[in-house]
Structure 1
């Protein structure tokens, strides 16, 4: 069992963790409200109810963390192929053992045009620099997958990125007073340092590769025979012209 999700859930109860949780919850609520279908799944971290504003009739929280409705490995999902319409991954890639394996499982389980929503810590930010401190603990010793790398992985798995944005521009400190005084950075961050937020959010859709239409052999044979007849008629007409 991966205990890092439970440790991160405990961290979410700290002042800095609550700031992250509330910021991401607002993004998930905006993102899922207009996604339609029948089945939606959130992997890990039930402390952030990513599907709260979604209206699908079947919504489930799954994973290894305490409090999830369905206990399972995020790298081996117990769902049929192409059976889900929406999967939410709040920091799952940050703390799972094999992020790419998780994405492959999501690709397998999602229906064509199914949506994938991901949040993760941005290594190219002040929050990423916090990882350099010796003896770092959760969340600073997570995977911190870079956004460009994540987009490459998604592209290889036939996902198209629809949206990406950054959140949490305040410095990664636990003092509530400092967090409150730096509130203005959340409003100014997108303008002054667009890719510098401590958390990134990605919305992607599963696409189907284009198919090449192969014509039946009889059609090709007919076209070939027709071309041969036309050439023979031209030759006969040319011989008649020379005899005149």
Structure 2
């Protein structure tokens, strides 16, 4: 992921990261969330804004990066059902095991919690630009883009109920720079989502799914499981661990 981090540190990458963060901030504001886990770090340490008593952590395998926990997204050393919202930032298209990444996200997600998946859309101008890219593959063109419908299907297999995907960033670079130069007065940066009619052509899609458990409801605060690390977690997280093997991390409630 190092090359992807470096791309997000470029002006083009920072522009996209800012737009994605604004959309994520708007969606998080409408969800029940006391603990938010962002899997994947932007090049400049950008994250969606959270408010009130919400706690937020950034997990990535980026040694020395602007993160709270260094870990592999395929096997995260976190207790099951320990966070209310998991946000995957371009993780599925830049890993050799996307199924395992989304399974791990579902595992650490609490019942009735939400999974937000941000990814590049193959059925867009970004996807076309990726196909015609020449030379050695570099981010963001080197990823294996996944259609939002496929991501929604994976969510359903994991017991989640997906929402209608949202799209943004129709134009890839350098077409966006050209459009900005030609239509500066028409740019409207306040609204990031393209709306339901145009979401399918967005270069980036956001798919949101809710983890459904029969008979479950958002439990009272004192009953919710702590955000916990599993000692030796890289070996134990994927297979699960007993409660006695877990310890609290950065959370008193």
Q: For the superposition of Structure 1 and Structure 2, which TM-score range results when normalised by the shorter chain?
A: 0.7 to 0.9
**Shift of the alpha carbon at 1:155?**
0.5
Aligned to 1:161: 162
Aligned pair 1:27/2:23, yes or no? Answer: yes
Instruction: With the length of structure 2 as denominator, give the TM-score of the two structures.
Output: 0.72
**Shift of the alpha carbon at 1:149?**
0.9
Distance 2:178 2:108 in 1: 44
CA contact (8 A) 2:170 2:201 kept: yes
Instruction: With the length of structure 1 as denominator, give the TM-score of the two structures.
Output: 0.75
Task: Report the 3-state secondary structure (helix = DSSP H, G, I; strand = E; otherwise coil) of the residue aligned with 1:169.
Answer: coil
Judged with a 3 Å threshold, the aligned counterparts in structure 2 of structure 1 residues 97 and 31 are, in CA distance, closer, same or farther, namely same
**Shift of the alpha carbon at 1:96?**
2.1
Task: Report the 3-state secondary structure (helix = DSSP H, G, I; strand = E; otherwise coil) of the residue aligned with 2:163.
Answer: strand
Tell me, which stretches of 5 or more residues in structure 1 are unaligned? 212-244
Alignment of 1:1-244 (within 5 A): 4=1, 6-46=2-42, 47=44, 49-65=46-62, 66-132=65-131, 133-135=133-135, 136-173=137-174, 176-181=177-182, 190=195, 193-209=198-214
RMSD: 2.7
Tell me, which stretches of 5 or more residues in structure 2 are unaligned? 217-253
Task: Report the 3-state secondary structure (helix = DSSP H, G, I; strand = E; otherwise coil) of the residue aligned with 2:165.
Answer: strand
Judged with a 3 Å threshold, the aligned counterparts in structure 2 of structure 1 residues 205 and 50 are, in CA distance, closer, same or farther, namely farther
Task: Report the 3-state secondary structure (helix = DSSP H, G, I; strand = E; otherwise coil) of the residue aligned with 1:195.
Answer: helix
Distance 1:48 1:106 in 2: 21
CA contact (8 A) 2:21 2:48 kept: no
Question: Which structure has the larger Rg?
Answer: 1
Distance 1:189 1:52 in 2: 21
